[in-house]
Amino acid sequence: MPKTVILWFRRDLRLDDNPALRAAIADCERLVPVYIHAPHEEAPWSPGAASRWWLHWSLLGLERALGDLGSRLWMAQGDSLAELSRIVAITGATEVHWNRLYDPATRNRDSGIKQALRAEGLRVESHRGSLLFEPWDIATANAEPYRVFTPFWRRCAARLAEHEPVSAPTALPPGPEPVEALSINDLGLLPRLAWDQGLRETWTPGEAGAQARAAAFLQTGIQGYGLERDLPDRDGTSGLSPHLHFGEMSPRRLLAMVAEQIGDPAAEPAEPFMREIGWREFAHHLLYHYPRTTDEPLDRRFADMPWRDADSDRMLAAWQRGETGIPLVDAGMRQLWHSGWMHNRVRMVVASFLTKNLLLPWQAGAGWFWDTLVDADLASNSLGWQWSAGCGAGAAPYFRIFNPVRQGERFDPEGAYVRRWCPELSRLPKQSIHQPWTAPSALLAHAGIRIGRDYPAPIVDLKSSREAALAAYETIKRR
DNA sequence: TTTTGAGTTGTTCGA
DNA sequence: GTCGAACAACTCAAA
């Protein structure tokens, strides 16, 4: 019997710098690359619609890339352990390799699978493929997890030179003919209604798309990243988040590209971008050590936060639809709905607006982002929302409440971003575009806008809702 | 153990 | 228009 090894793909949909892949083919005659669709095992954080759309195309790319190297992706659906066992039985595989994931449900599942397969006599190994540092590998002097980003990243930054990516193989061992395997279309990942036009215009999922995006960013974007990334109407961010989430590029590869093409990753001009990679690491560090922070505030005092009850459904719906009457907020929410993505600066603005001006629980925002973002990532999403709400690690001070009008004037001074996503406001001059409700009536008439008809009146007063938020925080402060 | 310095991203107000 | 101070107090991390 030829030695047969299973490579279990999950969120590491690439051939380049894939440690599980390298280990699997190190000593094997037949390789069985497997993908098992098992969204119920990630519940309650099963991938949202935008993520499933991405996954479909990314899997398709992986299937082609494997085919080009003489291999073939074995697609399955159901319980992961049952499917792996079935494939083991069919193929006579004696080894299984995968790259580790860090969200609580998956960790739990994977450790059970590892145990069960080992009990059947298989060799089972997991690998570090999606992080620069294992969450347990970075610790304070007291051997405790970090809860503040800056010292965490200082510790990491001293060790960036450790990382050496491994290239994609140029050929792969053949595999057995899949038995009762599914096709990607069988997984039903694409939306039934064709709402994905905006996604298709915006993204190229898959490893090739990731490499192209990274190359383009390093060519031009990274130079001005420190400043440009704050301007939502520019292409100033890297756009790599969904590619990193699905493991279409490893952070190690990205780091190596930065070091080679830009220079010292810990120095200008690469440093601001590498810090963002650091935030991704930090988010996984926190999720690993505090797995309940997907649903519960890290700062326990916030369990008693007096979130809004009355009107909350109507307010949440207005926020989700981009009909709050606050242009920058609405522009962001509509960008999200259309393209599956929102500029990071605007994410902070809409999150501050939801949790502070509307006093709605951050979990409601996290849930919506989870469903709509193509880069929805449990670690980053939980960290970001808790940070915004003020209840997370190194959280924003409670008095730091974004004023969406002021943010618009600072970061979208010409109103280009608002005009793009809220076209009904496009004829307003920049002086009024971020607060149309204060524009003189003649100006509104000239721009063809009736407040409350063509564009909503603000659903809350910014000044008084800010004061209400400060008062709410006051009630939970000292306990 | 104690002390010390610091903590992603802001806003408002008054001079 | 620009600038500095106030907005609080606490916890974290390291010396």
Q: Express each pLDDT in A297-322 by its tens digit.
A: 999 889 889 998 877 899 999 999 99
pLDDT bucket at A181, cuts 50 / 70 / 90: confident
A445 C-beta less than 7 Å away from strand B:
no
Q: Is the pLDDT of residue A450 over 90?
A: yes
- A128 to each of A18, A71, A477, how far by Cα in Å? 9, 23, 40
With a 7 Å cutoff on the CB, does A230 touch strand B? yes
Q: Is A4 helix (H, G, I), strand (E, B) or coil?
A: strand
* Confidence check: pLDDT of A447 > 70: yes
List, edge to edge, every strand of the sheet that includes A95-99.
Answer: A74-77, A30-37, A4-9, A95-99, A123-127
CB burial of A219-238 (b: ≥16 within 10 Å; e: otherwise) equals eebbeebeeebbbbbbebbb
Q: What is the pLDDT of residue A144?
A: 95
Query: What does the alpha-carbon distance between residue A185 and residue A64 come to, in Å, rounded to a whole number?
Result: 14
The distance (Å) linking the CA of A148 with the C1' of C11 is 10
DSSP class of residue A302?
G
Q: Phi-psi category of A247—alpha, beta or left, where left has phi over 0 and alpha has psi -120 to 50? A: left
Cβ A463 to strand B below 7 Å: yes
Q: Which nucleotide C1' is nearest A473 CA?
A: C8
> How confident is the prediction for chain A on average, in pLDDT?
95
- A394 is near strand B: CB distance < 7 Å: yes
Degrees, nearest 5: CA angle A109-A111-A114:
110
Each residue's pLDDT tens digit, A23-59: 999 989 999 999 999 999 999 999 999 999 999 999 9
Burial classification of residue A478, based on how many CB atoms lie within 10 Å of its CB (0-12 exposed, 13-18 middle, 19 or more buried):
exposed
The nucleotide minimizing the C1' distance to residue A278's CA is B8
Our CA angle for A213, A53, A386, nearest 5°, is 80
Nucleotide nearest A348, CA–C1', reads B9
pLDDT: which is higher, A420 or A308: A420
The predicted-structure confidence for A352-411, as pLDDT tens digits, reads as follows 999 999 999 999 999 999 999 999 999 999 999 999 999 988 777 778 899 999 999 999
Indicate the pLDDT class of residue A479, thresholds 50, 70 and 90: low
CA distance A343 to A212: 20
- The CA distance from A415 to A124, in Å, is 55
DSSP state of A220: I
Q: Are A374 and A47 in contact (CB under 8 A)?
A: no
Query: What does the pLDDT average to over A347-352?
Result: 96
Residue A478 banded pLDDT, cuts 50, 70, 90: low
Q: Is the peptide bond before A404 cis (omega within 30 degrees of 0)?
A: no
Q: Which of A159-163, A265-269, A298-302, A333-337 has the highest mean pLDDT?
A: A333-337
Q: Does residue A117 surpass a pLDDT of 60? A: yes
Distance (Å, whole) CA A103 – CA A96: 21
**What's the rounded mean pLDDT across residues A458-468?**
94
Determine whether the distance from the CB of A402 to the nearest atom of strand B is below 7 Å. Answer: yes
